[in-house]
Structure 1
Amino acid sequence: MARSDLLINLVKSGASGDKHTLGKIVDAIVAEERAKNHNIVADRIEKAYRLSDSNWNGKAATLMNAHSSESNARARDFIAEVKPRRRFEELILPEVTMTAAQQLVEEQQRASLLRSHSLEPRHSALLVGPPGNGKTSLAEAIAESLAVPFFVVRYETMIGSFLGETASRMKRVFDYARTTPCVLFFDEFDTVGKERGDTHETGEIKRVVTSLLLQIDDLPSYVVILAATNHAELLDRAVWRRFQLRLPLPSPTQKQIASYLTALSDRSELKLGASPQQIAKSLGKVSFSEAEEFFLDLARRQVLAAGEETPAQIAKQQLKIWASRVLGPLTQKQDDNAGTPTT
C-alpha cells in the first residue's frame, strides 16, 4: 500500500508540470498496474491525475470515454490479434540476435526496476533478412515471452485511396496500441516506411512515413513495436533511427537446417527417413520456412501411407519431388552465385 500511495502522490505533485510528459508517465504506470491485475490501484492513479487537472469535469470524461470507445472499435479493423505460436527455444537464430531479443524481453519484464533508476526499457526492434528465416517467428516469440497481446497490422484495410486516409488510420492503430501493454508488429515494413526521397513515390506515401515516424516517437515504452522487412534498402533513412535494435536474420547454413529438422523431428516424434545432415544437403539453399514445409510434406505422406511405405522410402520420394521444383527468384539467384568466387 505504501508504494501505491507513493505513486498516487507522484502523479498529484507532477500534474502542474509538463502535461505531455506527465500523461505518458501516467499511461505507463496505469498499464503496468493493470498488467499485474492491480485494477484498483490503476483506477486510483487515473482518478488522482484527472482530479489534479482543473479543466477536468464529468462531461469531458464522458465525451472522452465515448470517443475512445469509438476510436478503438475503428482501430480494430486495421489490426489482427494473433495468438503467438513460437517460443524462443524453438528458434535457431544468430547468437547476437537471440541475445539482443532476450535482453529486450528482460528489460520489459523488469521495467519497474529500470524506472526506479530513471531508465526506460527498450521497446523497438527492426528485423531484417530474406523471407522465411524467422522474422515473424521471432516477433511471436517475444510476444509469447512477455505474455501480452500480439497485434499484427493489416495493410489491406489500413491503406486507403483518399488523401490523408492511411495516415489517419495509422494513428488510430497506434492510439489503440497505447491502451495496453502489447507487441505491435509491422510485417513487410517497407510498405509504409519507404524512403521519402524516392522520386517515384507519391506525396501521400511521404505523408504516411512522416506520420509513422511521429507515432513511433510518441509510443510509450510498454508498447513493443517490431517491424520486419526483406528490403532494408528501401526504408527511409529516418526510420532506421527510430529502432533501438536492428536485428539480422540471415539465410541459414546447412548445419542450421539440419539442427532445425532434428528439433522438428524430436518434438513431433516423426522419423525423417534419412539423417538430418543428408536431407539438409539434398535440400540445398533453403529458408527455415521451406525446411519446415518439407518436414510437413514428410508428415503428411507418412500419415497417408499408413505404414505401407517406410519413412526412408517416403523421404527419398519427397526429396526427388523437391529437387524438381521450380525455383523462386531469390533461390535461383543464390544457386547461380553458389559457384561464383568472391573477393
Structure 2
Amino acid sequence: VRYDALIGSYLGETNARLRKLFDYVRTTPSVLFFDEFDAIGKERGDTHETGEIKRVVSFLLMQLDQLPSYVIVVAATNHGELLDRAVWRRFQMRLAFPAPKKNEIVVFWYRIISAWPDAPKMALGRLASRLGNVSYAEALDFCQNVRRRQILGLGEVSVDEALRAELDLWTSRVTPEIINAERSDKTPPETDAER
C-alpha cells in the first residue's frame, strides 16, 4: 500500500481512499501489505494527534474485521509502541526482528566486502564497534557509501580513505553519547594515530 496515494489532506479523504482499497481487495484473493503501518494505525489516545487520525484508525479496524478469509493482511513497523492496542488484536501472528548483534553485522559486511576489489585494512569487528548498534539496512548503506566514495574518487581515494571519511561522517551525525550507550563492548573510540 502506497501511503502517498492513500492519505489525503482533506477531512474524510483518507477514509474514502481506504474504503476503495478494501472494497477492491474483497473482490479477489490477495495479500495486502502495509509497510510503516504506524502511519495509519496510530494510538487513538495520543493527545498530539487530530480527530481525523482517530477516525481513520477506527475505520481501518472495522475494515480489517470485515475482510474475507481469502485476504491476508501483513503489516510492518519499526515503531510498534505507536500502534493502537486494538490494532494488535487484529493480527493473529506477530514477529519481532531484533537488531542484529555485532557478530552478525560482521558476517554481513564480510559477504559484501569480499566482492570488492580491495578490502579495508580495519578489522570488521572494530568497524562494527565504531558504528554501534545498526540495522542491516544501515550497515548496507554504510558499505555502499564507502564503495561509492572510493569509486567516485577515480583512483585517487583508497578504500581505507573512503572508510575513514564515512566513519567521520557517521560519528558527526550520531552523538557520542548515543554511540557509547549502544556499544555492547566498551572499546574506547579509535584515535587518529590508530587509524
TM-score (norm. length: structure 2): 0.75
- Which residue of 15, 21, 27 maps to 1:173? 21
1:153 matched residue in structure 2: 2
Tell me, which stretches of 5 or more residues in structure 1 are unaligned? 1-151
User: Is 1:327 aligned with 2:145?
Assistant: no
Aligned counterparts of 1:162 and 1:302: Cα–Cα separation in 2:
47
1:282 matched residue in structure 2: 130
User: Is 1:255 aligned with 2:103?
Assistant: yes
Q: How many residues align?
A: 183
- Which residue of 82, 87, 92 maps to 1:239? 87
The amino acid of 1:326's aligned partner reads R
- Indicate how the Cα distance of structure 1 residues 314 and 168 shifts in structure 2: closer, same or farther if over 3 A, else same: closer
User: Is 1:273 aligned with 2:120?
Assistant: yes
Aligned counterparts of 1:245 and 1:270: Cα–Cα separation in 2:
43
2:163 matched residue in structure 1: 315
Q: Is the 8 A contact 1:186 1:227 kept in 2?
A: yes
2:36 matched residue in structure 1: 188
Q: Is the 8 A contact 1:273 1:314 kept in 2?
A: no
- Indicate how the Cα distance of structure 1 residues 235 and 314 shifts in structure 2: closer, same or farther if over 3 A, else same: closer
Per-residue deviation at 1:309?
Answer: 4.3
The amino acid of 1:260's aligned partner reads F
- Indicate how the Cα distance of structure 1 residues 322 and 333 shifts in structure 2: closer, same or farther if over 3 A, else same: closer
Tell me, which stretches of 5 or more residues in structure 2 are unaligned? 185-195
- Indicate how the Cα distance of structure 1 residues 270 and 214 shifts in structure 2: closer, same or farther if over 3 A, else same: farther
Q: Is the 8 A contact 1:255 1:277 kept in 2?
A: yes
Aligned counterparts of 1:201 and 1:192: Cα–Cα separation in 2:
12
When Rg is computed on C-alpha atoms for both structures, the one with the higher figure is 1
Q: Is the 8 A contact 1:153 1:185 kept in 2?
A: no
Aligned counterparts of 1:189 and 1:265: Cα–Cα separation in 2:
33
Give the secondary structure class of the aligned counterpart of 2:94: strand
- Indicate how the Cα distance of structure 1 residues 319 and 186 shifts in structure 2: closer, same or farther if over 3 A, else same: same
- Which residue of 301, 304, 309 maps to 2:149? 301
Aligned counterparts of 2:166 and 2:6: Cα–Cα separation in 1:
41
User: RMSD between aligned alpha carbons?
Assistant: 2.9
- Indicate how the Cα distance of structure 1 residues 193 and 298 shifts in structure 2: closer, same or farther if over 3 A, else same: same
Per-residue deviation at 1:246?
Answer: 1.4
Q: Is the 8 A contact 1:272 1:298 kept in 2?
A: no
The amino acid of 1:259's aligned partner reads V
Select the structure that is richer in helix. 1
- Indicate how the Cα distance of structure 1 residues 263 and 183 shifts in structure 2: closer, same or farther if over 3 A, else same: farther
The amino acid of 2:133's aligned partner reads K
The amino acid of 1:263's aligned partner reads R
Which deviations, in whole Å up to 9, do the C-alpha atoms of 1:225-266 show, x marking residues without a partner?
Answer: 222223322222111011122121222221121122122234
Q: Percent identity?
A: 48
Per-residue deviation at 1:175?
Answer: 2.3
Which deviations, in whole Å up to 9, do the C-alpha atoms of 1:187-225 show, x marking residues without a partner?
Answer: 332222122334554443232112111222233444332
Which deviations, in whole Å up to 9, do the C-alpha atoms of 1:285-317 show, x marking residues without a partner?
Answer: 222222112101121123233444443343344
- Indicate how the Cα distance of structure 1 residues 223 and 259 shifts in structure 2: closer, same or farther if over 3 A, else same: farther
The amino acid of 1:303's aligned partner reads I
Aligned counterparts of 2:177 and 2:100: Cα–Cα separation in 1:
16
Spell out the pairing of 1:17-32 with structure 2 (5 A cutoff): none
Per-residue deviation at 1:181?
Answer: 4.5
TM-score (norm. length: structure 1): 0.46
Spell out the pairing of 1:45-84 with structure 2 (5 A cutoff): none
1:83 matched residue in structure 2: none
Per-residue deviation at 1:332?
Answer: 5.4
